Structure 1
C-alpha cells in the first residue's frame, strides 16, 4: 500500500508561513480521510539550505505520496521548484499540492507533463521579462544622464589583497614582480603587475621611504 508523507518547509523567521502550511495540510488530510505515515519538516532559513530538501525526502519510497501545502515549499525560484519536482517524480513518487489543487503522478503521466511544461514556460518567460526589465531600466538611467557601470577609479577586491603586506615587503627589497609572483605561487605575473600599478604600491613605498629619511 502506498505510504503518505507530508512535507512542511520550516522557517524560524516566518512562523506564520509554517502555521499556514500546517493548517492547509491538516484540513486537506481530514477531508480526504488520509492516513499519514510520516511528517517531514525541513528547516530552511536561506536559499542555500534548499539543497537539503532532496536529501530529507530520500526516505519516501517509490509509489508513495508526498502532500505539500504549496509548490513554493520546494524552492524560492521557479527553476529550483521545477528541478526538485522533476527529481521526485522521476522516482515515481506522487505529489499532491493543496493550494494549487494539483496531482502530479509521475514523469510519464500526460497531465503531469503538461503541468511541468507550463512551469517550464513560466521559467522561460520569467527570465525573458527579467532581461527586458533590466534593459529598460538601463535605458531610462541613460536617458536621465545617469552614468552606468562602476564609478571611475573604483578599485575592486583582488585575490592579491590577502598577501599585500608580503608583496610590499618584497618590492621594497628590490625584487621584480615576476620573481614575487613565483615566490608567492602565482602562475601569471601579469595580474600581479596590474595589481601593483592600479594600487600605486611602488609610489606609496617610495613616499614612505622619503618620509622616513
Structure 2
C-alpha cells in the first residue's frame, strides 16, 4: 500500500549533520539565538510531518509543533546527545501528540450524554484547515484519525516519516516485534478505510 503523503526528506542521522548539530547546540547553550533558530529551521519540517501525521493539519498540530521546540529549549542544558537531535525531537513530538489525542478523547466523553449507551463518535477532521491539503491527503488524514493512537504512531513513523523498524521501536520504547505487529494491523485498517475512497493502491 502506498499512502498518498510525501515521505520526509530529512535524514537527521547523517554524520555531517550530527556534527553541525553539536556545534549549534553548544552555541545555543551559550545564548546564541541565531544558532537556536538554525536548529529550529533545520528540524521544523521533520517535526511538522510527525505532528500532522498524528493529529492532522490545523491549529492543534501547529501548537504541538511549537511546544516541541519549547520543550527542547527548556531541556537544552540537559541534552547530552545520547540520541541524534532529530530522534530526540521526534520522540518529544510523538509524546505531545499522544497527549493531545488523549485530551481529545476526554473532551468527547465530557460532552457526551451519560444517559446514552452508545460510545461517542470518532472525531472527524472538523476544525482543521481543509484548504491546506488536497482532498486526497485529507482522506488519508481522516483515515489515520480513526486508528488507535498506538497504531497511528507506528504508521506515521514507518510509512510517512520513513524511520526503520529499529528506529521506530527506539522512539516509542517498544519491541521491534510490537512495531511490526502494530504496523501490520494499522495498515490493514487503513486499507479497509481507504478502499471506499478509491485511495488504496
TM-score (norm 2): 0.25
**Greater relative contact order (Cα < 8 A, sep 6+):** 2
In our comparison, the structure showing a higher alpha carbon Rg is 1
Greater helix proportion: 2
TM-score, normalised via structure 1 length: 0.24
Richer in strand (by share): 1
